[in-house]
Chains A and B, each alone.
Chain A
Amino acid sequence: MRTEAPATPLELVARSIRPSSTTVHAWLLLLPAMTLLALFTHWPALATFIDSFFSTPRPKRGATFVGLENYRQIVDDPIFWQALTNNLLFAIGTIPVSIGLALLMAVWVNDRIAGRTLVRMAYFTPTVLPMIAVANIWLFFYTPQYGLLAQLLSAFGGASYNWLGSKDTALLCVTIVAVWKEAGFFMIFYLAALQQIAPSLGEAAVLEGASRWYFFRRVQFPLLMPTTLFVLINAVINAFRTVDHIIVMTRGGPDNATSLLLFRIYELGFAFWDTSAAAALTMVLLTGLGAIALAQYIFLERRIHYR
């Protein structure tokens, strides 16, 4: 259809000169995106790093260099350790449960059960709703005396309990909301992966007399490994950047029992206006998230190469 003439010497020369103009063109194309990236990613990251070594500027006294003082303050701050512990517990609570549930949901929806479209919709719906909106609904759900949970319990003779107001249960309550919100999101990746597994594998396994559990454990699950890794990285990142429901439901309380790292940054920066402490804590969080995202990038590149 298309005729490709061999390159003439003149064209070859032209091509060898071209890079300079190509470079200019390419950078012109990149300019708008690069400007915004510099302004809202590169500069703030650098400025946060620098600010973390200075004191917070106050009206009467400007910022002074304080070395590692802000970091020392973080280490000495019991609320930081509490927020870190909470965040790790929150991560340990949300990651395995939401991934496990996502896998279960995907396996169920993948089998041709009656009404699977409706079931899939029910699982996925929380994903499209704003976290802030569903947090309000869950807040009502947990409310003592009036809430659905309290009503259900009183029907069985249980006493009313302030689930979000108690240090023992508040973190668990916000963890459940996060699991509920993201399990359906992870389900769709498993569903897609399950549908890519060739039917002949199942048929062959049946002929070999393998049990369904054996087939899942030795064939399906290993084939789902890349998906699991992908979902895992996303779940970890979500566990460290999801704070909308904390702001709505508990504001970090009671007594910092539900304070997470990003919430603590928000609190330090915008409630106490201690921007230097917030900057140092941001650096701590960024270091952690950076390591995770790097793993994700390496994984994404690989996934695309092997496709």
Chain B
Amino acid sequence: MSMRAASEAYAPTGASRLLETVAAWMLAGLWILPLLYALWTAFHPGEYSARFEVLAPVTLDNFSRAWSAAPFARYFLNTFVLVTLVLSGQLVLCTLAAYAFARSDFRGSNIAFALVLIQLMIMPDVLIVQNYKTMNMLGMLDSIPAIALPYVASAFGIFLLRQTFKTVPQELDEAARIEGAGAVQTLLRVYVPLAKPVYLAYGLVSVSYHWNNFLWPLIVTNSVESRPLTVGLQVFASTDQGIDWSIICAATLMTSAPLLIAFLLFQRQFVQSFMRVGIR
């Protein structure tokens, strides 16, 4: 596969190339502007939050004030526990289910697969009212597992892994079994290693989705002990901060920083993962 694109023959030259470059850069500047604006405000004293002077003093004060104004350390921990819980649950459950669908022609497999795919249409994001009732019934309200559970059995994860497992040659499966490996051993020794890139892609997308998820955690949590970063940020920004934008911007950047830094470091993997997994 050549990386040379078909448009190469039509790659602009001379003035039109310059024009295109300038336009692309202008749009890029416009796209990154809100982020630069937040960076400026967060790193300068409050009085410079809307004044752009080259010599404005740089400070980390806003970050330390934001950090001490709300239990962000706890929120970070909660989000970390949440994404770990969701992803590990997804990986185990989706792998097992995908393996069942990919390799065995069992009774009721079509109905089962349809029951899984229903989740692509009926997303947990929309079933907030009833899922809240269920969590209430289970006595799980205001806990991190309550945020995670509706997302753990991911239809998309099952679908994606099933497609991947199906491409594994049947001979490899049989060879493992001839060597005396059981179903689970075959899965772990043959299928999982071959699906590594898909796991990585799915993992990146899942982590960034659940790091950023907001509506369901907002509904189901009600205390510092269970709130993830997104909800914590919202509670922090909407309560009596006296609308100090410098501090809100600092808090905003702080909560996005791990994901943003990871993205800047592993840009290629991120872009490829989102591309591979497609929908979130």
Q: Would you call the interface of chain A mostly helix, strand, loop, or mixed?
A: helix
Contact of A68 with B by CB under 8 A: no
A10 CB-CB contact with B under 8 Å: no
A189 within 8 A of B: yes
Residue tally, chain A, CB below 8 Å to B: 116
Interface residues of B in 25-83 (CB under 8 A from A): 25, 27-29, 31-35, 37-38, 41, 49-50
Instruction: Report the Cα distance A98→B215, complex, angstroms.
Output: 23
Is the pair B256, A130 in contact by a Cβ cutoff of 8 Å? yes
Interchain CB contact under 8 A, A269 and B96: no
Verify A128–B127 contact, CB threshold 8 A.
Answer: no
Contact with A along B170-193 (1 / 0, CB 8 A): 010001000000010000000000
The distance in angstroms between the C-alpha atoms of A123 and B30, with both chains bound, is: 9
Q: Are B28 and A33 in contact (CB under 8 A)?
A: no
Whether B119 and A37, one on each chain, are in contact in the complex, defined by CB atoms closer than 8 angstroms, is yes
Contact A199 B2 (CB under 8 A): yes
Interface residues in B, total, Cβ within 8 A: 107
Instruction: Tell me whether A122 and B31 are in contact (CB under 8 A).
Output: yes
- The reply to whether the CB of B224 lies closer than 8 angstroms to some CB of chain A is no
Contacts of B32 in A (CB 8 A): 122, 125
Say yes or no: is A32 at the interface (Cβ < 8 Å to chain B). yes
Chain B positions 223 through 249: 1 when the CB is less than 8 Å from some CB of chain A, otherwise 0: 000000110011001100000010011
Beta-carbon contact of A133 and B9 below 8 Å: no
Expressed in whole angstroms, the minimum distance between the Cβ of A84 and any Cβ of chain B is: 15
For B40, give the chain A residue with the smallest CB separation: A148
Q: Is the CB of B252 within 8 A of A105?
A: no
B233 to chain A, nearest CB (A): 6
> Chain A's nearest CB lies how many Å from the CB of B107?
4
Q: B110-133 CB contact bits vs A (8 Å, 1 = yes)?
A: 001001111111111111111111
**B168 contacts the other chain (CB 8 A):** no
Contact between B183 and A40, CB atoms less than 8 A apart:
no
Instruction: Decide if A212 touches B10 in the complex (CB within 8 Å).
Output: yes
Contact check, B4 vs A266: say whether CB atoms are below 8 A apart.
no
